[in-house]
Amino acid sequence: MDKKKILLIGTGGTIASEMGENGLVPELTSDQLLRYIPDISRICQVECVQVFSLDSTNIMPQHWVQIVNALREQYERYDGFVISHGTDTMAYTAAALSYLVQGSPKPIVLTGAQKPIGFETTDSKQNLRDAFAVAASDMAGVMLVFNGKVILGTRARKTRSKSFEAFSSINYPLLGMVQDGRLIPYIRPDSGERPVFYDQINSNVALLKLIPGLDCGAAKWFLEHNDALIMESFGVGGLPAYEAGDYYETVKDGLDAGKIVVMTTQVENEGSDLSVYHVGTAIKRSLPVLEAYDMTTEAVTAKLMWILGQTRDPKQVARMFYDTVANDILAFK
Ligand code: ASP
């Protein structure tokens, strides 16, 4: 049987970094990365392209579109794709690609590393090999492969800043594991016959994490300067009603001005449910706020940017927000 043809798309990150005078800098191209794992030619045939070389801290929504354009241009020529990427914002890129490339029957796999590929102790080679094993399999859609875990693109989050076990799947099971170079698939994501590509996004989306006593002036400012505000509140969710300033009025003013407000929680697992406490029902019943339920904040961010690139009509936004894309929201009621 012919070997699968995989495109390696380089974007920078630790995996491609070398030690400079002031710390690690992404220097290596995807071709250079590949030279560290010559044995990969036994599994698949790889070609390389470099779209940019950035520490992922510097990645912006416009870079997601560059990756989408590379995928769109090369889609027919390859059986699968590996995107090497910095770990810091990889979960955002994984979520963004899940909305911007929907229903791909071919695997699109993001990976990276906590230690550069040229270091003596590194997770780079294993992660790259594992990513190729998944990209050459019959898995479908956008996934993140790291430390043997295969995570759905809409469910990934960086949960450790230093150790190799850097990513978790939030409110959703792993799609599989890669052990000794072999993929053990647990779930094959649904796919379409052909992918639908999007390149319009609106990045005027802000995120505000509440802390006890935070003045609602911050929310007001964010609402004035953005098209959507995600509010990471406490527990299953609710908004404070401080005597010094009521969040209710601030949010109402924003909604009246046509802005989108999404309530979510800063608790990592199990999601929001505004229907439980008065602090939640007080806003959910009387204001058209949206609620993240079991979606990750990374997915909410990317989904809003994708939706607002298509429409600004609040009703349409709400409908699209609650439409499940790549199993991103399942606990909606
Ligand atoms: N700062 C690096 C980046 O995100 C970290 C990494 O790749 O692990 O590009």
Can you spell out the DSSP letters for 204-219?
-EEEEE--TT--THHH
Q: How confident is the model at residue 2 (pLDDT cuts 50, 70, 90)?
A: confident
Same domain, 190 and 220: no
Pairing of strands 205-209, 4-12: unpaired
Q: Could you give the residue ranges of the DSSP H alpha helices within the chain?
A: 30-35, 61-74, 90-100, 124-135, 217-225, 247-256, 278-284, 297-310, 314-322
Asked whether residue 157 carries a pLDDT value surpassing 80, the answer given is yes
Interval 49-86: pLDDT, tens: 999 999 999 999 999 999 999 999 999 999 999 999 99
Report pLDDT for 278: 93
Structural domains of the chain, count: 2
How much distance in Å is there from the Cα of 103 to the middle of ligand 1? Answer: 28
Interval 95-146: pLDDT, tens: 999 999 999 999 999 999 999 999 999 999 999 999 999 999 999 999 999 9
Element (H, E) at 246: strand 245-246
How much distance in Å is there from the Cα of 88 to the middle of ligand 1? Answer: 5
The residue nearest atom 1 of ligand 1, judged by CA position, is: 55
Report pLDDT for 22: 93
Same domain, 78 and 176: yes
Same domain, 144 and 278: no
Report pLDDT for 244: 79
Contact present, 179 and 155 (Cβ < 8 Å): no
Given 14, 89, 111, 122, which residue is catalytic? 14
Q: Is residue 36 part of a domain?
A: yes
Q: How confident is the model at residue 159 (pLDDT cuts 50, 70, 90)?
A: very high
Same domain, 250 and 155: no
Same domain, 47 and 120: yes
Residue 203: strand, helix, or coil: coil
Asked whether residue 254 carries a pLDDT value surpassing 70, the answer given is yes
Report pLDDT for 245: 78
Q: Considering the entire predicted model, what is its pTM?
A: 0.97
Same domain, 226 and 160: no
Say what angle helices 247-256 and 217-225 make with each other, to 10 degrees: 10
- Tokens linked to 5: 């043809």
Asked whether residue 333 carries a pLDDT value surpassing 80, the answer given is no
The CATH number of the domain holding residue 150 is 3.40.50.1170
Q: Could you give the residue ranges of the DSSP H alpha helices within 46-138?
A: 61-74, 90-100, 124-135
Q: Is residue 45 part of a domain?
A: yes
Q: Is residue 74 part of a domain?
A: yes
Known active-site residue 14 = yes
Residue 76 is classified by DSSP as G
Mean pLDDT of the residues in the chain:
96
Pocket test of ligand 1: the residue of 88, 93, 160 to mutate, having most ligand atoms within 8 Å of its CB, is: 88
Ligand 1 neighbour 123 (Cβ under 6 A): no
Q: Is residue 332 part of a domain?
A: no
Same domain, 183 and 220: no
Mean pLDDT, rounded, for 287-299: 98
Question: What is the distance between the alpha carbons of residues 250 and 255, in angstroms, rounded to a whole number?
Answer: 9
Same domain, 233 and 192: no
How much distance in Å is there from the Cα of 239 to the middle of ligand 1? Answer: 34
**Domain range enclosing 299:** 205-322
Asked whether residue 36 carries a pLDDT value surpassing 90, the answer given is yes
Same domain, 112 and 95: yes
